[in-house]
Chains A and B, each alone.
Chain A
Amino acid sequence: MAKACNWLHVESGDGEFIPSLTTISTCLTLSDVQCDGYVRLLAADIALDDDKEPSAILKVFRGLKLKHEQTLPGIPTAIESLYIDETEPKTPVIAVAIAESVLFYRHLKPYFKYSIPQLEPEELEAEVWRKLPVMKSETHDALLASLKDLDHAKLSRKTQRLLQLPEEEREAFIKSHKDSPVGRVGNIVAMCCLKRISSDANPPSHLVLATDLGDVYILEPQGFNLIYQGKVCSYETAVPSLISVQGTYETDFSIVVATRNGGVYLLRKSQNEGQELLKLNTPLTGLLLLPVDQTIVLSCMDNRFLCYSKRGKLLYQVELEDLPVCILPLSMTHLGVTLVAIALKGGPVKFYLQRYLVDELHANETVDAMLYGRMGMEDHVLTLITQTGDIQIKILRRVTRFEPNADALKGTTMGDKKLIVDASILDKPKKSSIFVEQAAREKQQAKATYGSFQVELWRLRHTAARATIDAINSSESTISGDLTHAPVKLSAEVCGSGPSFRLYLTVQNLSTFKMASNLMLLLHADRRHYTITQSLARLPSVLPGIPLRMDFEVIAVLDPMDKLPPPSLSLDNSHIRVMLTKEGQAKPLIAAAVAMPQSEAAAAF
């Protein structure tokens, strides 16, 4: 495979010193900071030495050469380069998100600082702060204890700090901080750009900010006003960790936010409350909303990369050999494709076109951060920052074409079926042509279809009824013939002269040692002739030799006017069917017909 040469590796000159860089993907950006058409690499070099305070330096590289350095006032979460207006020459502004504010640099000089709005403190907390300075120090403990009931994350930073302090230092802290506001502010945890319009080459952009309180803001950088406010999740605090935006502000946009708990939410222009798309059990390492097909690509800690539609439906998933560290979209406009680059633990970087692996690279160690775009004079440059801080620059060859080869296509379609089963997606049949034709036929000949269905239904019922009659008739005797159970004898006696009768039934176990249990007596009569108050009786276990006697009340139905039995009653059908059944057995043990005497009309009164 001639895959290795799809990317040209930029080698540093002999003896040239390449500065090392510790950073993350969000703290890398490309910008034409000097407005000379040469796009430079900007990165925040984050120093996290154990013995020193963490600090960050903004570095500007021209090619591989470090050209400019600038200390940042904190650890940035993200860096973006954006254009804020249409005036020529177009000057990019660098936005650096640090804690609750966004710092803007123009020509690498501080230009503006924007802080996200403060939230109202909890009632109780404000009350505590009103009381703390005026009350005696002995009562402070009780006051602070009352704060424990509140969610720690919802307290202001000042209070959080106070609660952490040892008791002897609290007094001084309260004294020095009593007048500062109690409001709480979220930290910016993710930031990205959203273009205002799509027509221009470098249109002005808005900034999308996500805070750890679960808010999403869109900042308009000309006047630094908030023009959109949203909530990631309406019913719980979802702390965003990753964010991806597509679309343009003027027409329509969608913001996908992944939270620390593995939830993925979608916000739109028209809807500023996040809609939960999915929730994964494993933490996510990367989130992308791809521009072309508007699918959401996630990489997750269980060595998979997944693709979901915007409705939260899993489209495909690919098993990876190792942990995905970072993920990057590579939009190749000249080829009309968008690849997804996934850097895995250990050094491999894989390039996927949808689910198909089209290319791979091997860095000598784990790649921590990646960036792709126009750099210098070249359009398709991939920058890799490894764990030890090496900067590697790869340039896409002009003649490269990314196509999944035939083997991969064949292989993955085979693998697909397996994957779908893994993903526990129901293998629902698609609307086949047979189904569609049948639906059309049913629509055309609804009457005939209904008729034939009814005919078949009645035929089924008829068959069932005939089988029932057969079953009852076959057990027509007074002694049960089933050899597997204890033989049972049933005898009946009718007392009374009508219209109310008493039917005595005697059940006798004929066996010498077996017990007859779980028996039921069922009485059945024509409803027009007899009314049976209790037609079903569950019998206790019948011991051998001891007869069990039950009585049932049967009332003969008489015409209320002339006190005569209904005309349909004849000698042939004036009987009550008695069935002795065993639980769990469809066929009755004994089915007997008890002939009823003619009812005396007058006796009703």
Chain B
Amino acid sequence: MGMLHNLTDLIKIKKDKMTILVLGLNNSGKSTIINHFKKSNDQNAIMVPTVGFMIEQFYSMGVNIKAIDMSGATRYRNLWEHQFKNCQGIIYVIDSSDRMRFVVIKDELDLVLQHPDLSRSVPILFYGNKSDLEDSLSSVKIAAALSLENIKEKPWHICSSNAISGEGLGEGVQWLVQQIRFAMLSHKSGHKVKSKHIK
């Protein structure tokens, strides 16, 4: 019987919406990544810096995803925390070629992780974007530079991506959707399912 329950739950979720928060510094490629997930006729040809935030909807992995694309500009970064309460997953986009700003990325990430609205377990997906550039670092190096291994309470995953060609994007979202489903299931069935990192 339990098996059947789970199955019906899964079907139910399919109709549900997932809310994902897209964070990252300015010029890291957040809007470009979301642009890639949109239907080809909705895609923008020219990307401009986001002001404030944008809400985009797209359908991926059989789920309707509502992505809140936050602006990464310094003066808009204080808007991030207002969205923490109603998000189920976070995508943190990193410009893997911008070596100089890794300290800033780390600092902003720490601020996100320490925020009281995110004390629950929310899966975080890191995109090491712009992997095509010559200066870009591998996802392992990024994880080391940001000391991601210290994130214990939340499931996380890092993959390198290229938002222009779409390389690596699908893999990341697949992981994130799975994690959110997992979390919802465990929440609904009341079972404590321990989430693991998948690398």
Q: A interface vs B, CB < 8 Å?
A: 8-11, 13, 37, 63-65, 334, 375-380, 393, 395, 397-399
A63's partner among B25, B99, B106, B111 (CB-CB below 8 A) is B99
- Chain B 68-111, CB-CB to A under 8 Å as 1, else 0, gives 00000011011000000000000000010011111110111001
Indicate the member of B27, B104, B108 with the most A CB atoms within 10 Å.
B104
Q: Given contacts A334-B74, A398-B77, is CB(A377)–CB(B101) below 8 Å?
A: yes
- Chain B 140-161, CB-CB to A under 8 Å as 1, else 0, gives 0000010000000000000000
- Give the complex CA separation of A334 and B100 in angstroms: 22
B100's partner among A376, A397, A399 (CB-CB below 8 A) is A376
Q: Is the CB of B107 within 8 A of A64?
A: no
6 A-B pairs with CB atoms under 8 Å apart are A9-B103, A10-B102, A11-B102, A375-B100, A397-B107, A398-B107
Is B179 close to A, CB under 8 A? no
Q: Is the CB of A8 within 8 A of B100?
A: no
Q: Is the CB of A64 within 8 A of B99?
A: yes
- Give the complex CA separation of A48 and B60 in angstroms: 62
Closest chain B CB from A64 CB (angstroms): 6
Q: Is the CB of A393 within 8 A of B111?
A: no
- Give the complex CA separation of A51 and B137 in angstroms: 42
- Chain A residues contacting B145 (CB-CB under 8 Å) are 13
- Chain B residues contacting A334 (CB-CB under 8 Å) are 74-75
Indicate the member of B99, B102, B107, B135 with the most A CB atoms within 10 Å.
B99
Known: A10-B102, A64-B100. 4 other contacts (CB 8 A): A10-B101, A13-B145, A378-B74, A378-B100
Q: Is the CB of B101 within 8 A of A395?
A: yes
Is B26 close to A, CB under 8 A? yes
Q: B interface vs A, CB < 8 Å?
A: 25-27, 74-75, 77-78, 95, 98-104, 106-108, 111, 135, 137, 145
Main SS at interface, chain B: helix
Q: Is the CB of B107 within 8 A of A8?
A: yes
- Give the complex CA separation of A163 and B100 in angstroms: 54
- Give the complex CA separation of A375 and B100 in angstroms: 10
- Chain B residues contacting A65 (CB-CB under 8 Å) are 99, 135
Q: Is the CB of A378 within 8 A of B75?
A: no
- Chain A residues contacting B111 (CB-CB under 8 Å) are 399
Q: Is the CB of B103 within 8 A of A377?
A: no
Nearest A-chain residue to B111, judged by Cβ:
A399
- Chain A residues contacting B101 (CB-CB under 8 Å) are 10, 376-378, 395
- Chain B residues contacting A63 (CB-CB under 8 Å) are 98-100
- Give the complex CA separation of A476 and B60 in angstroms: 126
Closest chain B CB from A402 CB (angstroms): 16
Nearest B-chain residue to A376, judged by Cβ:
B100
Q: Given contacts A63-B99, A378-B101, is CB(A398)–CB(B27) below 8 Å?
A: no
Q: Is the CB of A8 within 8 A of B74?
A: no
- Give the complex CA separation of A162 and B25 in angstroms: 62
- Chain A residues contacting B108 (CB-CB under 8 Å) are 398
- Give the complex CA separation of A13 and B97 in angstroms: 12
A395's partner among B95, B104, B137 (CB-CB below 8 A) is B104
Q: Is the CB of A379 within 8 A of B103?
A: no
Q: Is the CB of A377 within 8 A of B99?
A: no
Q: Is the CB of A10 within 8 A of B100?
A: yes
What 10 A-B pairs come out closest when comparing CB atoms?
Answer: A63-B100, A8-B103, A377-B27, A376-B100, A10-B100, A10-B103, A8-B107, A395-B104, A63-B99, A398-B74
Q: Is the CB of B103 within 8 A of A395?
A: yes
Q: Is the CB of A393 within 8 A of B74?
A: no
Closest chain A CB from B145 CB (angstroms): 8
- Give the complex CA separation of A401 and B74 in angstroms: 14
B25's partner among A10, A11, A377 (CB-CB below 8 A) is A377
- Chain A residues contacting B98 (CB-CB under 8 Å) are 63, 376-377
B104's partner among A11, A13, A37, A378 (CB-CB below 8 A) is A378
Closest chain A CB from B193 CB (angstroms): 35
- Chain A residues contacting B106 (CB-CB under 8 Å) are 8
- Chain B residues contacting A10 (CB-CB under 8 Å) are 100-103
- Chain B residues contacting A395 (CB-CB under 8 Å) are 100-101, 103-104
Closest chain A CB from B138 CB (angstroms): 12
Q: Given contacts A376-B98, A377-B25, is CB(A11)–CB(B75) below 8 Å?
A: no
- Chain B residues contacting A398 (CB-CB under 8 Å) are 74, 77-78, 104, 107-108
- Give the complex CA separation of A295 and B30 in angstroms: 43
Closest chain B CB from A63 CB (angstroms): 4
- Give the complex CA separation of A71 and B26 in angstroms: 35
Indicate the member of A13, A379, A380, A398 with the most B CB atoms within 10 Å.
A398
Q: Is the CB of A379 within 8 A of B104?
A: no
- Chain B residues contacting A64 (CB-CB under 8 Å) are 99-100
Q: Given contacts A63-B99, A376-B98, A377-B25, is CB(A8)–CB(B104) below 8 Å?
A: yes
- Give the complex CA separation of A10 and B111 in angstroms: 18
- Chain B residues contacting A397 (CB-CB under 8 Å) are 107
Closest chain A CB from B131 CB (angstroms): 16
Nearest B-chain residue to A333, judged by Cβ:
B75
